[in-house]
Amino acid sequence: MKKRLIFVTIGVLVLIGSVHSQRCDTENETFRAIQSEHAYTKGLFELDSLAEAFETWTLESSARGDTIMFIPVVVHVIYRHDVQNISYDQIKSQIDVLNRDFNWAGGDHGKIPEVFRSLGQACRIQFRLADRDPHGNFTHGITRKQTDIEDIGSQAIYHRSSKGGTDPWSQPHYLNIWVCELEGNAIGFSILPSNNMSERDGVVMDPNAFGTTGTVRPPYNGGRTLVHEVGHYLGLRHPWGKGDGGGCSTTDHMSDTPKQEKENFGCETFPHFSCGGQTDGDMFMNFMDYANDSCMLLFTKQQVQFMRLVLRRNRAALFHSDGYTGLSKMNERSLRIYPNPANDRLQIEFLHHDQLVNVWSVEGKLMKVLRASASITEFDISNLESGMYFLESEDSHLKLMVQ
């Protein structure tokens, strides 16, 4: 008999020092959710029932599906010190890792023991920084806010602007990720999906474990902490089941992950056994364990199918979101730029005269305001540093690279 989840579970990954002593915030976050969000707690029963039905293959086959799914992402950077105001490049590096690992495109499959290697599979899920905000305005999918609240991510106020945090964008339509200080050794957590969405729905990440460049620190400098947490966001549990160190009698409801007593840190040597009766030992290289980034390597086929099922059942509104249009040039006829990339000079072609064009940095700072005086107008941009910028007029939005 499988044990049934009867309480809120919030996935948390922690930063481990030279001694593998875990400092995990799961119980604190669980207690907070139970005390303040009873409807959310009730909704988790239904997620557990879905997982049990999935495990026993009693779901209709049409519920599984195989089409490519797109998820619009907004990253809320909340910083106390300037160094925590992470760069666009660091954010992009993290999105790149999500797309690589969720689509089985890494170059390290050979590190997976052969007995497990055939279980890996692409999720066919694509993550995109939002290009349209909830009000229909052009965006680059990043918000930034300075706060004076220490460890704001551990205080359950990161999602409230009135408390020093940043309000989420419409949670049914965007994956909200808050990058901010976390207390102690914690480096990330995610709220499991429920039919009654939590007011904190989304993922919280420490800037020291977000992406592959900038402020990241080894051994969590490969962007895979967020891969783990998005797994929770899409309904996956740790391989050892509910809670922390759940023991060999609990389940993660995935038939192709071995039973496992507790978390594994670092990079274990294969085979590593934690439960009696294991044939091949722990799948410690699974993205849902606690290994170093360099040793986190796969989602199994069952994990992939369950995440896709949860997307269809619990997060279906993401498919109806206007948060990502995929258009690099919205209403292209009314505004064109060349050359792109540009150096010191930029020509802008306007369908209508007397238009204003705002030039924004990736940090959301207004850098220049350009006014059209003819159908084709040349502008001096020599004072712009190399990098990406966003050009916005009344009805057009374009990206510009400056060399």
Q: Which residues are catalytic?
A: 229
3-state SS assignment for residue 77: strand
Name the phi and psi angles at 125, rounded to 5: -120, 130
Q: Which residues of 366-390 are buried (b: 16+ CB within 10 A; e: fewer)?
A: eebebebeeeebebebeebeeebbb
Do 177 and 226 touch, CB atoms closer than 8 A?
yes
Q: Which own/partner contact pairs does 290-293 have at CB distance under 8 Å and 24+ positions apart? A: 290/13, 290/14, 290/16, 290/263, 290/264, 290/265, 291/264, 291/265, 291/266, 291/267, 292/218, 292/219, 292/220, 292/265, 292/266, 292/267, 293/219, 293/220, 293/221, 293/222, 293/223, 293/224, 293/225
Alpha carbon distance 41, 8 (integer Å): 6
Q: Which own/partner contact pairs does 20-27 have at CB distance under 8 Å and 24+ positions apart? A: 20/265, 20/266, 22/244, 22/263, 23/184, 23/185, 23/186, 24/186, 24/244, 25/154, 25/183, 25/186, 25/189, 26/189, 26/243, 26/244, 27/244
Token pair listed for 40: 């959310």
3-state SS assignment for residue 337: strand
Rg of the chain over all Cα atoms, to the nearest angstrom: 23
Q: Distances from the Cα of 183 to the Cαs of 25, 82, 91, 188, 293, in angstroms?
A: 9, 18, 21, 10, 21
